[in-house]
Structure 1
Amino acid sequence: MNGTKEIPITEIKGFRLGHAWDQEAATGCSVILCDHCSPAGAAVRGGGPASRETPLLDPLAASLGLHAILLSGGSAFGLDAAGGVMKYLEERDIGFDVGVTKVPLVCQSCVFDLVIGRKDVRPDSEMAYKACLDADSCKDSALLQGNVGVGMGCTVGKYKGPEYAMKGGLGTFALQAGNVKVGAIVAVNAMGDIYNIETGRQIAGLLNKEKNGFRCTEEEMVKDAAAIPDLFTGNTTIGVILTNGAFTKAQANKIAAMAHNGYARSIRPVHTTADGDTIYALSLGKEKADLNVVGTLAAYVMGMAVNRGVLAAQSVHGYLGAKDLL
C-alpha cells in the first residue's frame, strides 16, 4: 500500500504473542497478552461464534479494556482454555482490582477444528498457560505463521465437506504509516475460498474433483440455490487488530468492524451462517491517529494476514496446503 511500509508485527509495542499446539491432534491456541489493560472492541459478523466475555467490549459495559485475548481451537469445548490465561495473569497480580484479588479481563474466540486430527483433544487451561509462558520466553514465536498455535487445526474451502477442503493457518501482517502502526493476527478457518487481495486470484479453497486445482464455492452455491445441502458448519475466521494509536473502547469497536472488510476482500463467501467470523481490536499505545485511517489500514492488514496464513500453511492430516498446490 502506497505511503506505508511493512513491519514485523513485533514492532507494535504493548503486547506479547505466544502459541501452544498439539500437531498430532491438530489443535492449538494463541494468546495476546497486553502490557497494560488496553481499550478493546470486537465485531462479530458470522452466524455461529464460540466466544467468551465479549459483552465486556460493549461501550456501555463498565470495563475499560482487556488484559488478554485468547484465540483457540476446540469449538465451544475450547472455551475452557481461558482459565489458563486467567491463572497465569492472577499469579502475576494482573487484573481488575476487586479488593480480595485481581480479576483478569480475558476475551476468547474459538475455531471449529474437531474434524482434523483428534476430536477428543481440545485446547485446555494447561495448553493456554503454556502459550502465556511462550509469550514471555520466546519472542521469535510471535513471527511464526501457518501450522502454529490456533492455526494448527484450521482448514478452508469446506462447502463440499472435508474431502475437498484445504489447510488454513495462522497469519500475521503489519504496516506503518508515519508514526502509526497497525497489524493483524488471524486464524483462517473459513467455509469459503481464499483470494489474493491484490490480484484477485484464488489461492486456496474448494478443490476440484481431481484435487489438482480449485472450484469456486460461490458458483457451487449458486448451482445449489434451489436446494442448499446441509452446510459443513465447522468454520470461523477469528482475528485481532493491534495498533499503537490511542483509541477509546467505542472507537476500537469501529476499527474491528472496518477490519471485516479485509475478510470480505480475501474470503468468499464470508460471514455466512456456517461461520462465526469475529475480529477484536486493541489500542496499545498513545499515538495520535485518525480513526478512519486506522480502520482502513486494519482492513488491508487483515486481508494480507489471511493471505499470509494460508500461504504459510503446510499439508497435514490429508489436507493440502496452498504451497503444495500453487
Structure 2
Amino acid sequence: MNEITLMEMAQASQFRLGNAQNREAGTGCTVLIFPKSAPCAVDVRGGGPASRESELLNPMAAASGIHAILLSGGSAFGLNASTGVMQYLEEKGIGFETRVCKVPLVVESCIYDLGCGDNVRPDAAMGYQACVSAEMNVFREGCYGAGTGATVGKLCGPDYMMKSGLGAYAVQVGELQVGAVVAVNAVGDVLKKDGTILAGMRSRDGQGFADTRRVMLEEYGKTPTLFSQRAVGTTTNTTIGAVITNGKFNKAQLKKIAALGSNGIVRTIRPVNTTADGDSLYAASVGNVSAELSLTGTIAAYVVEKAIRRAVTQAESLYGVPAVNG
C-alpha cells in the first residue's frame, strides 16, 4: 500500500477538488466536481444532519450519478452555496441531459460553524468560487474550505473546545486508489491510533484533556452539557466527508463502502454519531478498476481515520481557539 495525495488521485481520475473560505467569518466550503458524473452514495449516522439532494443517492432513485459533492460550513444556511455550484456547472455544460437543458446534480452536507467568526455564511458566490478554485487545483488542508470554522471537544461549551479543520488522505493498492476528505467538527474528542486523545475538550485548568466520555459517564447530572436541560445547542456539531475511489462500483455497492468508511469516524472520534452530531460520509466511484467491495470499504475506513487526524494536526489556532500544533 502506497500513500498518494488526494490531488494526485484527482488528476489521475479526472475529478476536481477545491476550497473557498472567508477566514474572517470562520466559514467556507469544499467541492468535489465530477465532470462526467459519478455514482455516489451516503451513510448518515448523526442525529442532526444538514443536507441536500440525499434522496438522489438512494439505490432505487433513477439518477445513476451526480456531478458534485459540496461540503460546507454555515449549518443549514450553507445549503445556499450549492446554488453557486449549480451555476458553475451549468456554465461549463456539466449536468444531466434533459429535453430543455443540462441539470447539474449536486449533493451537499454542512457543519455548524456559526459564531466562529463574524457570522457570515457560505452563499452562492462562495460555492462558485470553490468551483473556480477546483479548476485551478487550489486545495489546502487545515483551516480552509469546509474546515475553516471547525472545532472539536464541545460537550461543555466553547470555553473548552479546540480548533480542528479539513483533512485529506489517499492510498494506492495495486491499481486501486482510495482517498478521503473530511471536515471534523465533532462534539467528541479525536483519538490517536493508541486510543489516547489527540485533540478535544480541554480540562478546566487548561493543562490537559477532560476526556469527553469520562465527563459524560462520571459527571452526569453535575456538569451542564449539550445533552442536559441546562444547555442549549444540541445539534451544533457534525463530521462530514467523502470517500473517492477509482474502483468501479454502483450506488448500492457504494452505500456499503460509505458505511464501512464511516467506521473510520467511529474509531477516531469519541463519542460519535450522537444527537448533537450530523455525521455524514459520501462515497463516489470515479474509475473502472475492478475491485472487491469489502477490501475497498476497509481501505476507506483507513483513509478516513488518517484524514480525521490530519484535520486536527493541520489546523491552526484561530478565533481564540487553540489547536494541537499551535
> What TM-score, normalized to structure 2?
0.95
Paired residue type of 2:124: S
Given that 1:235 and 1:275 are in contact with CA atoms closer than 8 Å, whether structure 2 keeps it comes out as yes
Q: What residue ranges of structure 1 are gaps of 5+ in the alignment?
A: none
Contact 1:166 1:205 in 2 (8 A): yes
Whether contact under 8 Å (1:154, 1:188) holds in the other structure is yes
Amino acid at match of 2:57: L
Instruction: Measure the CA separation in 1 of the matches of 2:205 and 2:213.
Output: 19
Q: What SS does the aligned partner of 1:281 have?
A: strand
Is the contact made by 1:14 and 1:285 (CA closer than 8 Å) also made in structure 2? no
1:262 aligned residue:
264
Tell me what 1:17 maps to: 17
RMSD: 1.1
Instruction: Answer yes or no: is the 8 Å Cα contact 2:268–2:308 preserved in 1.
Output: yes
Partner residue of 1:311? 313
* Identity level (%): 50
Distance in 2 between residues matched to 1:303 and 1:285, nearest whole Å: 23
Contact 2:191 2:268 in 1 (8 A): yes
Match in the other structure for 2:280: 278
Match of residue 212 from structure 1: 207
Match of 2:195 in 1: 200
The one of 279, 291, 294 aligned to 2:293 = 291
Residue pairs, 1:126-165, within 5 angstroms:
126-137=125-136, 139=137, 141-142=138-139, 144-165=140-161
Q: Provide the C-alpha distance between the structure 1 equivalents of 2:244 and 2:172, rounded to a whole number of angstroms.
A: 12
Q: Which residue of 2 aligns with 1:26?
A: 26
How many Å separate the matches in 1 of 2:237 and 2:115? 11
Does structure 2 retain, via aligned residues, the 8 Å contact 1:159–1:231?
no
1:248 counterpart = 2:250:
yes
> What are the within-5 Å matches in structure 2 for residues 113-124 of structure 1?
113-119=113-119, 121-124=120-123
The 3-state SS of whatever aligns with 2:312 is helix
* Post-superposition CA distance 1:180-235 (Å, at most 9, x none): 01000000000000011x22221100001122311110010112445752364310
Q: 1:168 aligns with which of 159, 164, 167?
A: 164
Query: What's the TM-score once normalised by structure 1's chain length?
Result: 0.95
**3-state SS of 2:63 partner:** coil
CA distance in 1, matches of 2:37, 2:318: 38
List aligned pairs for 1:42-61, cutoff 5 A: 42-61=42-61
Runs of 4+ residues over 6 Å off in structure 1: none
Deviation at 1:11, TM superposition (A): 2.5
Aligned residues: 316
Q: Which runs of 5+ in 2 are unaligned?
A: none
Instruction: Answer whether contact 1:231 1:274 (CA < 8 A) is retained.
Output: no
Asked if structure 1 preserves the Cα contact closer than 8 Å seen for 2:35 and 2:94, the reply is no
2:73 aligns to what? Answer: 73
Aligned to 1:7: 4
> Contact between 1:7 and 1:174, CA under 8 Å: does it hold in 2?
yes
Identify which range, 92-101 or 21-30, moves more after superposition: 92-101
Q: Offset at 1:46?
A: 0.1
Alpha-carbon deviation of 1:293?
0.2
In the TM superposition, residue 98 of structure 1 has moved relative to its aligned partner by 1.2
Structure 2 CA distance for aligned equivalents of residues 244 and 97 of structure 1: 24
Aligned residues of 1:180 and 1:243 also touching (Cα < 8 A): yes
The alpha carbon displacement at 1:93 in A equals 1.3
**Counterparts of 2:256 and 2:272 in 1: how far apart (Å)?**
19
SS of structure 2 residue aligned to 1:82: helix
